[in-house]
Structures are given as structure tokens and as C-alpha cells.
Amino acid sequence: MIQHYNNLYEILIDFQEKLEEFISVVPDSAEMYKRKLSIKRAWEKSQRLVNELGKFISPVTELDVKLPDKFNSDKFIEAWKFWRDYLEEQHAIKMKSRMEIKSLKLLLELSNKDPELAIKYLDYASARGSKSFYKIDDSTTKSNTKDGYDPDFTKKGF
């Protein structure tokens, strides 16, 4: 898509040069002045639209994702890569730099900057099929049912 946009942009630059050259040789009568003005306005409108389209096509500059030293370990990096791949595979979420920076910040806050706890949160969320991670404790992981009975497994079809 970017290549098509770049080709369009180059063609329009060439067209602009030819249009300006043509307009420069057109006689300066009152009738031609109105037509030149109309063409100039149409051209400016086309340029604005192409520039607005370019905002959607040209990618945003990615930011650098930096880990705090405490989290810059092979074990955490592997867990984080697993989490990113899991999101893409399971939920079709491709994490880009800004989302990754904010997600890491949230994970650091939830885990009280404890890498082992952060890895535990990532593992738990992916095991549960979640789109996001969250703080877990003993009440989160234990079943609130008596004798291991889970009413979800008594529904029709199970």
C-alpha cells in the first residue's frame, strides 16, 4: 500500500510540473483567468486530499521499548516474547511500540516491579485465554465452589 501511495505521489508531482508549465503559456484573457483559477483550486484540493491520505498510509514512527534493568533477564524477555506471540496468535492483537510500552508499565505496576511475579501474571493470563493480564492472588486462583464442584460443567453439552 505504501508503495502504491509513493507511486501516486511521484505521478502527481510530475503532473503538477506539467500543469504549471501549461498554465504559464495559456493567454491571460478574462475567460482564461477564470479557467486557470478553477483548475488551480481543483489542484489544491487534490493535493490536500492526497496529503490527508498520506497520514493514514505512512506509518507512525515506532518508539524504543526499554526494560528496567531488573526485568532485562533472559527469563523475563522469553516470557514477554511468549506473551506478545500469544496475543497475536490467539487474539489477532499485534502489539506495537506504544501498546507495548504501556503494557509493560502496567505489568510493572501490577507486579510491584517483581520480575518473577510479572512472569506469573503473564503465564496465568495466557493459560486462561485472556487478552490482558491482571493482578492475581490466592482468591483469584482458587475455586469458590464446594468440594471442587463447578456449575459450568453441569450445563447441557458437557
- Per-residue pLDDT at 142 exceeds 60: no
Q: Report domain extents, the chain.
A: 2-57, 69-141
* Cell numbers that stand for 155 in this block: 450445563
Q: What's the rounded mean pLDDT across residues 11-34?
A: 88
The pLDDT tens digits for 118-138 are 999 999 999 999 999 888 876
SS (H, E, C) the chain: CHHHHHHHHHHHHHHHHHHHHHHHHCCCCHHHHHHHHHHHHHHHHHHHHHHHHHHHHCCCCCCCCCCCHHHCCHHHHHHHHHHHHHHHHHHCCCCCHHHHHHHHHHHHHHCCCCHHHHHHHHHHHHHCCCCCCCCCCHHHHCCCCHHHCCHHHHCCCC
Q: What's the rounded mean pLDDT across residues 94-117?
A: 95
pLDDT at position 144: 47
pLDDT at position 69: 92
pLDDT at position 2: 78
For residues 106 and 146, the model is more confident at 106
pLDDT at position 141: 58
